[in-house]
Amino acid sequence: MSVIMCPGFKAAGVAAELKKKGKKDLGLICSRVPANVAGVFTKNRVKAAPVLLDMELIKSGVCQAVIVNSGSANCCTGEQGMRDAEAMASLAASELGISNDLVFVASTGVIGEPLPIEKIKTAIPDLVKSLQPEGIPDLARSIMTTDTVPKMVSAQGIVEGKTFTVTGVAKGAGMIRPDMATMLCFVCTDVGAASEILKETLVKAAHRSFNRITIDGDTSTNDTVLVMANGLSGAVIRSVAQRDIFQKVLDEIFLDLAKQLIRDGEGVTKLVEIMVRGAVSDSDAWKVADTVAHSPLVKTSFFGEDANWGRIVGAVGRADAKVDPDKIDIYFDDVQLVKAGISCGKAVEAEATKVLKKSEFVVTVDLNMGRGSDLMYTCDFSVDYVKINADYRS
């Protein structure tokens, strides 16, 4: 994967023995200078210690480094967990020679077990020494749990004739549902932007990407998305037009990472876009898309490559939205399977089955009642999802 590392940032990932088999499990990303920062965090009422810490730190709007571990979520760990998160930040800050409150923390892994802070402490000097401009793949690997591939992406934009770069990494393969923001994601850019502008752009981009994906419908306690902008490119976002340019690049980065998350979802074999149109309102369209995207029966039929559209209609009908069963049209890509609530025939179903054999396709539900539309990205529900999650801790 050819990912351009954003100038002015370095990253690293090392093995601190938090995970098994010498895998990388401790990561660091660091800007040459303090960067403006914006973030969104899990809406789960149960929040991990690092999330609580970052929610305090981000009030300053400034961040220079993020230290992150996998293997332990440092969640449901009480006061000791909070002390451990703070220690993780201050140990990294001290090694980097910067102020404690410039270092954010993130964790991912098993909930309820104490953070092995001694192992982290031991590994931090090596972690800081490993920082390098090409360190993004190491960072991306260090945050993986059930992920099978590292997830990263980069893109560039131009404002005032100056090129800026945006580079993002993310992790997440299970406990993924759209409730802002369903995984870890760190984005660094050398654009210059006030933290308020960053926040606004980030929220919009997340709404169209991370808030539109689901794997299993469970919300993590550790979700964190951070965007750091250090301004070193000289390109500065001020006007609305400049903001639009940055928004477009960030949208692209977020949506690309969001789709990477689903493709690598636990046991996933298919990425499916559920497009709902013709709803009375956008909000109704979203409710229908969300219900279809989460239905175990719909998701298992995707896995079975069975064009069992009755299950889609069943899910549409139980969504909390205005629906007239006799008006529903359903398409698999451009194959229309259902017209006005009834089957278009067995021949068409055979065509639809061909669509289902693809690894990515679109299911369109047209309610034919209004102009509201929205979409969700989901995946199939496979035997391997169950196997992975039945054995996760063993």
- Is 342 among the residues that bind a copy of itself (CB under 8 A)? yes
DSSP 211-263: GGB-SSSPPPS--EEEEEE--TTS-B--SHHHHHHHHHHHHHHHHHHHHHHHH
CB 78 within 8 A of CB 113: no
- Pick out residues in 189-248 that bind a copy of itself (CB under 8 A): 216-221
Tell the smallest beta-carbon distance from residue 40 to a copy of itself (Å): 16
CB 271 within 8 A of CB 376: no
Question: Omega before 15 cis (within 30°)?
Answer: no
Tell the smallest beta-carbon distance from residue 72 to a copy of itself (Å): 10
- Pick out residues in 355-384 that bind a copy of itself (CB under 8 A): 381-383
CB 101 within 8 A of CB 60: yes
> Tokens 């093995």 identify what position?
15
| Cβ-based neighbour number of residue 262 at 10 Å | 22
Looking at the Cβ atoms of 113 and 126, the one nearer to a copy of itself is 113
DSSP 46-74: S--HHHHHHHHHGGG-EEEEEEEEEEE--
d(CA 28, CA 122): 15
d(CA 260, CA 256): 6
- Is 56 among the residues that bind a copy of itself (CB under 8 A)? no
- Report the relative pairing of strands 271-279 and 372-379 from DSSP bridges: antiparallel
d(CA 37, CA 63): 6
With CB under 8 A as the contact rule, the residue among 211, 247, 301, 378 that binds a copy of itself is: 301
Q: Which two tokens stand for residue 33?
A: 């200078």
- Is 104 among the residues that bind a copy of itself (CB under 8 A)? no
**Contact letters for a copy of itself, residues 158-177 (x by CB under 8 A):** ----------------xx-x
Tell the smallest beta-carbon distance from residue 76 to a copy of itself (Å): 5
The stretch near a copy of itself (CB under 8 A) out of 98-106, 134-142, 193-201, 292-300 is 292-300
Looking at the Cβ atoms of 13 and 178, the one nearer to a copy of itself is 178
Looking at the Cβ atoms of 162 and 358, the one nearer to a copy of itself is 358
- Pick out residues in 311-340 that bind a copy of itself (CB under 8 A): 311, 313-318, 323, 325-326, 328, 338, 340
Looking at the Cβ atoms of 136 and 323, the one nearer to a copy of itself is 323
With CB under 8 A as the contact rule, the residue among 45, 97, 240, 357 that binds a copy of itself is: 45
- Is 389 among the residues that bind a copy of itself (CB under 8 A)? yes
Which of 182, 189, 214, 364 is flagged as catalytic? 182
With CB under 8 A as the contact rule, the residue among 122, 134, 148, 296 that binds a copy of itself is: 296
Catalytic residue status for 182: yes
DSSP 278-334: EESSHHHHHHHHHHHHH-HHHHHHHHTT---HHHHHHHHHHSSS---GGG-EEEETT
d(CA 263, CA 196): 32
Q: How many residues contact a copy of itself, by CB under 8 A?
A: 64
Positions annotated as catalytic residues are 182
Residues at the interface with a copy of itself (CB under 8 A): 43-47, 73, 75-78, 110-113, 174-175, 177, 179, 216-221, 294-297, 300-301, 303-304, 306, 308-311, 313-318, 323, 325-326, 328, 338, 340-343, 381-383, 385-387, 389-394
